[in-house]
């Protein structure tokens, strides 16, 4: 049954995935109804589902999700359009890399939550500070990841391009970018996941809307089912985004043997 590093049929894969989820839910249900833990700490899955429903029908949760998703995507977009060209230039021209690397490395190690107070002083409690937190959290990581991805493009590809008559810009556009793209998309997918972490921090500290804000304000009334429903909603959004990226990856890079 357990064969080492061997593919299993797709149906078996799906069945096992569902079985894992169901087991988790059953254990949760058993623990919740056993009375070991008070319901205000651990409500049943059913109670959380009901809370989920209430959030959408009574509390306008969909609007908060839309706001949060919008913040994540906008900040992520701002990070990507600067990080990709900069990472590419840093790996292409040693001088540019040498100039930026120490600085970016330093900022990368600053914990984003520690920057939140400073960013609120600078940008206030409005949208700008949230975008700034997300941007700070992803941009610097992303630059270094793109830098690595483009650095790893085999030298033969680049030298082939040059001896086919491409100039430096053409090599970057026609060879380095397509060669590094699959890894870049993977790294975008991973950094977009981090964005959600920083978003919730930003929305808890200072916001009047968004998923993080909703969860945090429900906490005050110890509405545990709603808090858990909110957390699960984030998980679902993350999962869907991740799957969308994976699908895009499979469709766009059919030439990769996986």
Residue numbers at the binding site for other proteins (CB under 8 A): 154, 156-157, 159-166, 170, 174-175, 178-179, 181, 253-257
Q: Shortest distance, CB of residue 159 to other proteins, whole angstroms? A: 6
Alpha helices (H) along 59-176: 61-92, 94-108, 112-123, 127-151, 155-163, 168-171
For other proteins, the closer of residues 20 and 178 by Cβ is 178
Q: How far apart are CA 179 and CA 157, in angstroms?
A: 8
Choose between 53 and 157: whose C-beta lies nearer to other proteins.
157
Nearer to other proteins, 105 or 174 (CB): 174
C-beta of 76: minimal distance to other proteins in Å? Answer: 25
The residues, any chain, with a CB within 8 Å of residue 223's CB and separated by 6 or more, are 51
- Using CA atoms in the order 117, 123, 125, 129, what is the torsion angle rounded to 10 degrees? -80
Closer by beta carbon to other proteins, 4 or else 169: 169
Residue number with CB closer to other proteins (58 or 257): 257
**Which 8-state DSSP code applies to residue 257?**
-
What tokens appear for 51 in the block? 């809370």
Q: Closest approach of Cβ 194 to other proteins, in Å? A: 27
User: Phi/psi of residue 40, each to 5°?
Assistant: -75, -15
Least separation, in Å, of the C-beta of 185 and other proteins?
12
Question: Could you give the C-alpha distances from 193 to 11, 66, 218, in angstroms and in order?
Answer: 28, 16, 24
Smallest distance, Å, CB 177 to other proteins?
Answer: 10
């Amino acid at each position: 049954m357990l064969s080492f590093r061997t593919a299993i049929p797709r149906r078996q894969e799906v069945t096992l995935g569902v079985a894992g989820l169901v087991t988790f839910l059953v254990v949760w249900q058993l623990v919740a109804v056993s009375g070991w833990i008070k319901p205000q700490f651990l409500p049943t899955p059913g109670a959380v589902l009901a809370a989920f429903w209430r959030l959408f029908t009574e509390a306008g949760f969909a609007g908060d999700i839309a706001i949060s998703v919008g913040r994540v995507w906008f900040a992520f977009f701002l990070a990507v359009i600067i990080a990709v060209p900069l990472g590419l230039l840093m790996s292409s021209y040693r001088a540019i890399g040498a100039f930026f690397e120490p600085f970016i490395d330093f900022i990368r190690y600053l914990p984003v939550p520690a920057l939140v107070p400073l960013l609120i002083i600078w940008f206030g409690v409005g949208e700008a500070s949230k975008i700034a937190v997300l941007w700070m959290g992803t941009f610097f990581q992303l630059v270094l990841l793109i830098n690595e991805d483009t650095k790893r493009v085999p030298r033969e590809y680049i030298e082939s391009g040059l001896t086919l008559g491409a100039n430096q810009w053409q090599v970057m556009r026609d060879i380095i970018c397509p060669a590094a793209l699959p890894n870049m998309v993977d790294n975008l997918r991973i950094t977009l996941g981090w964005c959600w972490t920083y978003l919730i921090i930003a929305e808890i500290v200072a916001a009047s809307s968004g998923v993080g804000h909703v969860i945090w304000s429900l906490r005050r009334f110890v509405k545990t089912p709603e808090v858990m429903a909110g957390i699960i909603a984030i998980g679902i959004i993350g999962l869907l985004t991740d799957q969308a990226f994976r699908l895009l990856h499979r469709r766009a890079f059919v030439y990769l043997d996986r």
